[in-house]
C-alpha cells in the first residue's frame, strides 16, 4: 500500500511520456487502468521484441491493468464516461483538441466527475501558436535548443542517446499530478495539469539559457568538457575511458599532486577558475598524458585516494552489472504471464516508509478486460462478450 493507494487513474496515453507518468503513479500505489486499441497501441509494434512481445512497451506499463477499447466505436464513449466517473485522474497525451473531439474535453470530464484531475501531456502545450503541432522526442530536443548544445564544438548538433525529452516530460507530469492530488486533498477541487515537452526541455537548458537571458552570451557546444570549470573531460586510458572532474578551486590542487604535476600549482598561473578555463587545453593535455599509459582501474585508484570525482565511462552492459546498481535495487524482476521472469529498471525514488513497488508485470493486450469491464464497471460476462463480438474491445 503505497502513498497513492486508493487513487484511481485512467491511462489513455501511449508511447513514453504519458505511460511513464502513469507508471510512476502506479509504482506509488495508484490503481491504473490502461486503455489501448484492440490490436494494441502503436508502441507494441516497436522493436526490440522478446518472443514476439515488445520490450519497448514493457518499460512504461508495469503495475497497470490493461484493457482494450476501440475509442471510435459507437459503444466506446459510454464506456469511457463510466471509467471517468470511476477515476480520480485521467492521463492523456493526444494532440490538443483530440479529447474534445472524442466527446471527453475537460469541461465534459468535469460534468462526469466534478473533482477530476486531467493530466494533459503534449508536444507544445494546450496553448500557444504551436499547440496543435505533433511532436516526438527528437522534435522536442531540436525545438527546445537541447540538440544545438549537444555534441562537439566543431561538429553537428546531436541527439542525446536516449529519449530524454519523453522521460523528463513524464516525470514533470507525475510531479504535477502529485501536486494536483495534494490540492484536491485540501480543497476538494480537481484541475487540469498541462505539461509540454517543449517546456520540459526548455527548463533543462540551465546555465546556457540563463547566460543568454541575462548576459546575451550564446555558449557554444563543448563536447564532454564542463561548461564552467577545467580540467574536466573524458580521458583515454590504456583499456578504456575515464571521466575526471577536477576543475574547482579545492579539487585542482589535489589533482596536480595526484598526477605529479605540482609545477602547475607552483606557477600560480592556474589558481583561479577563469584562468583554468582560459588554459583548458593545456591542463587537459597534462591530465591526458598522465592517464594514457594507465588502466582505468589504476587511474581510478589514484583519484579515489585523492578524493577526486571520476568514473570509468561505462557501457550499458557495464552499468547493468554494477554492484552499486544492484545494491540500490535498480534492476527489478516480475513475472510476465507469457514470458516468465522479466527484468526492468527499478524506480529511482527510495523511501523508507512508503516506497514504490513493482506488483504487476506489464499487461498483455487486453489481459485485464474481464477485471476492468466486469469488476470495475460491473458489466456481466454476457455484456463483455457482446462488446468483444461487436469489435468494441
Residue positions annotated with a catalytic role: 166
Residues 220 and 375: their CA atoms lie apart, in Å, by 57
Distance of alpha carbon 345 from alpha carbon 113, whole angstroms: 35
**In angstroms, rounded to a whole number, what is the distance separating the alpha carbons of residues 369 and 68?**
7
Strands (DSSP E) found in the chain: 8-11, 31-36, 49-50, 53-54, 64-68, 89-92, 117-122, 192-196, 232-237, 240-245, 310-312, 331-336, 340-345
What is the Rg, in whole angstroms, of the alpha carbon atoms belonging to the chain?
Answer: 25
Q: Take residue 116 and report the three cell numbers written for it.
A: 477530476
CA 346-349-351 angle, to 5 degrees, is 115
Identify the residue whose cell numbers are 466527446. Answer: 103
* Cβ atoms within 10 Å of 116's Cβ, excluding its own: 21
**In angstroms, rounded to a whole number, what is the distance separating the alpha carbons of residues 47 and 60?**
14
Place of cell 600560480: 268
Q: Name 341's bridge partners.
A: 335
Residue of 284, 115, 243 lying closest to 188 (CA atoms): 115
Strand partners, 195: 121
Q: Are 364 and 57 in contact (CB under 8 A)?
A: no
Cα distance between residue 144 and residue 41, in whole Å: 27
Amino acid at each position: 500500500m503505497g502513498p497513492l493507494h486508493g487513487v484511481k487513474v485512467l491511462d489513455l496515453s501511449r508511447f513514453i511520456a504519458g505511460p511513464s507518468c502513469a507508471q510512476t503513479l502506479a509504482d506509488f500505489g495508484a490503481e491504473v487502468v490502461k486503455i489501448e486499441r484492440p490490436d494494441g497501441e502503436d508502441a507494441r509494434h516497436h522493436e526490440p521484441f522478446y518472443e514476439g512481445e515488445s520490450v519497448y512497451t514493457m518499460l512504461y506499463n508495469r503495475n497497470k491493468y490493461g484493457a482494450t477499447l476501440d475509442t471510435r466505436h459507437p459503444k466506446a464513449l459510454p464506456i469511457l464516461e463510466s471509467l471517468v466517473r470511476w477515476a480520480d485522474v485521467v492521463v492523456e497525451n493526444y494532440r490538443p483538441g483530440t479529447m474534445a473531439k472524442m466527446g471527453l474535453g475537460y469541461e465534459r470530464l468535469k460534468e462526469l466527475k466534478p473533482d477530476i484531475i486531467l493530466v494533459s501531456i503534449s508536444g507544445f502545450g494546450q496553448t500557444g501558436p504551436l499547440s496543435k503541432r505533433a511532436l516526438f522526442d527528437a522534435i522536442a530536443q531540436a525545438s527546445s535548443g537541447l540538440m544545438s548544445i549537444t555534441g562537439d564544438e566543431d561538429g553537428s548538433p546531436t541527439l542525446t542517446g536516449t529519449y530524454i525529452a519523453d522521460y523528463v516530460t513524464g516525470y514533470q507530469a507525475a510531479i504535477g499530478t502529485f501536486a494536483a492530488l495534494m490540492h484536491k486533498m485540501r480543497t476538494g477541487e480537481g484541475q487540469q495539469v498541462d505539461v509540454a515537452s517543449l517546456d520540459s526541455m526548455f527548463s533543462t537548458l540551465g546555465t546556457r539559457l540563463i547566460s543568454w537571458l541575462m548576459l546575451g552570451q550564446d555558449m557554444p557546444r563543448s563536447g564532454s568538457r564542463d561548461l564552467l570549470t577545467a580540467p574536466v573531460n573524458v580521458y583515454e586510458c590504456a583499456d578504456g575511458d575515464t571521466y575526471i572532474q577536477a576543475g574547482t578551486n579545492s579539487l585542482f590542487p589535489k589533482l596536480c599532486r595526484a598526477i605529479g604535476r605540482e609545477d602547475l600549482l607552483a606557477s600560480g598561473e592556474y589558481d583561479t577558475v577563469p584562468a583554468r578555463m582560459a588554459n583548458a587545453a593545456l591542463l587537459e593535455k597534462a591530465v591526458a598524458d598522465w592517464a594514457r599509459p594507465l588502466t582505468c582501474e589504476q587511474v581510478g585508484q589514484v583519484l579515489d585516494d585523492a578524493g577526486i570525482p571520476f568514473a570509468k565511462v561505462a557501457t550499458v552492459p557495464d552499468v547493468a552489472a554494477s554492484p552499486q546498481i544492484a545494491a540500490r535495487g535498480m534492476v527489478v524482476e516480475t513475472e510476465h504471464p507469457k514470458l516468465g521472469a522479466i527484468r526492468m529498471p527499478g524506480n529511482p525514488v527510495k523511501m523508507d516508509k512508503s516506497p514504490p513497488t513493482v506488483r504487476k508485470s506489464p499487461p498483455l493486450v487486453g489481459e485485464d478486460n474481464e477485471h476492468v469491464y466486469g469488476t470495475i464497471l460491473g458489466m456481466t460476462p454476457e455484456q463483455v462478450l457482446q462488446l468483444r463480438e461487436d469489435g468494441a474491445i
